[in-house]
Amino acid sequence: MEWKNWQNTSFKSKDHLPSYSGIYVVADKDDRVWYVGQAKNIYLRWQGTSHHRYPQLNRSHKKFNYTIYYYPFSLEQLDEKERYYINTLNPELNNSEVKQYLPKVPSLEEEIKRILKVLNKPNSLYPTVRSLILGQYQDNNNTIHVLCLINTNDYDILQNSATRKNGGLVRNAWSGLYRHSKRTIVWIDTPIYTMSGYQFEFYGGSEVINHLERHSDQRSRYLEKATILGVDVLMIKDLRILTLSKLPLKDKLKDKLPLLENKMNTNNQQESQTQSEALVTPSLPKKMKRWLVNVEDVEVEICKDENEKYYVRHNLYWYIFSGRKNPDPIHNCVIKNCEDIVNNKLTTIWWAGYSFKFEELEFEEGLITEAVLLPLKMFEDFIKYLYENNLKNDRFSGYILPPGPPKSMGSSYRIYQLGKWLQNNSLEQFKK
């Protein structure tokens, strides 16, 4: 922000203002700009209580801690510079009614908070995910850019805000539109709402929103709750959802992906930028083959990649010990659970340091899914651990004695059947 580099004095020390002509900016402790003005003599303009905004600012100074910034300009430049800074900074009080008290909430901030609340209120079309915050970044002027994804139907909400009656300050905060003579508008570019210190940009994101509405199991992995200006919102925490949902990215949005902060589950800026660039040219899913084998009444899916390496999806392991075929990646701590077994449960050091991650897979029959791939031998070690642990804690009594068919087909039965078989056998024999 250019004005932050100007000379300044606290609001209560206004007697120290200079006597030359120039532009002044009144901002609070959070760098929110409240007023922009011009003066032939800045000192005289603020002398005593003569300034028409003094009563408002004086009563709220204790709360907001105002500072007056100032810069010298010639008399001939004052009108031009004042218009420029008013249009650029969108101060809260310019062009508003002069009152003794400040409004409880600044009008520009109040309006964007209202919009965010509406966009995050579920309706019949979008009962769970109505809009999303893609991320935010700070530019060289310290303005925070907030990138929002909305569905097609909610563009009307932005239009109503941009054409509201008796809201000149709010209307002027919007850009990216064409106004017709009858107060109707057409969006010809990205709708952008600008207020002091913030710029909210709204992009079409129906593909992502609809994808997450249909795939409830992916919401906890790709979304998180956040707060912006005190409003609860849903924020994307992993940008890979953009490729998974096949969102067509506009060029303007592509350029901003590398600028987003902490959206790739990494704190490394270079790695984050590399992954952001990869989103612009999405990588293809990993090609896999798979087949089923029956081991002692337990169905086992074996997968093979193009490098002739053999794996088992985490889904099978989860089903064997819990009965769930599709655990939630976040709530069920899939990766953390696998790491815990490798680091704390298995007696072998063979798998120490193995990097577990979700990968997008495409099988021959056209199925595209995401899974953690467990090497075949690792999967065997996992099952052997479960078998020995259950045996140690006497959880197999119903399957060992008395002899005969098992009493149930639950998780203990699957662990017992497969674990006992693995004592003298290996899934390696089923490789193709």
HEC string of 226-261? EEECCEEEEEECECCHHHHCCCCCCHHHHHHHHHCC
Position 331 scores a pLDDT of 66
Decide if 255 contacts 266 (C-beta within 8 A): no
Position 312 scores a pLDDT of 94
pLDDT over threshold 70, residue 46 = yes
Nearest to 31 by CA among 249, 153, 195, 151: 195
- Residue range 90-111: mean pLDDT, rounded: 70
Max mean pLDDT range (174-183, 203-212, 214-223): 203-212
Report d(CA 238, CA 224) in Å as an integer.
10
Report d(CA 298, CA 296) in Å as an integer.
5
> Where does residue 140 rank: exposed (0-12), middle (13-18), buried (19+ CB within 10 A)?
exposed
Report d(CA 348, CA 424) in Å as an integer.
18
Position 101 scores a pLDDT of 56
- Residue range 307-321: mean pLDDT, rounded: 91
> How do residues 2-25 score in pLDDT, each as one tens digit?
788 899 999 999 989 999 999 999
Decide if 38 contacts 91 (C-beta within 8 A): no
- Angle among Cα 374, 391, 295 to the nearest 5 degrees reads 50
> Where does residue 360 rank: exposed (0-12), middle (13-18), buried (19+ CB within 10 A)?
middle
DSSP string, 106-128: -HHHHHHHHHHHHHTS--SS-SS
Position 384 scores a pLDDT of 92
Which structural domains are found in the chain, ordered by start?
Answer: 2-89 (3.40.1440.10), 108-280 (no CATH), 286-430 (no CATH)
- Residue range 228-240: mean pLDDT, rounded: 88
pLDDT over threshold 70, residue 281 = no
If pLDDT is split at 50, 70 and 90, which confidence band does 303 have?
very high
Per the structure block, which two tokens stand in for 210? 């609809």
Position 44 scores a pLDDT of 92
> Where does residue 407 rank: exposed (0-12), middle (13-18), buried (19+ CB within 10 A)?
exposed
Position 117 scores a pLDDT of 93
pLDDT higher at 294 or 402: 294
Report d(CA 187, CA 190) in Å as an integer.
7
**31-35, 88-92, 269-273, 368-372: lowest mean pLDDT where?**
269-273
- Sequence-distant (≥ 6) Cβ neighbours of residue 165 within 8 angstroms: none
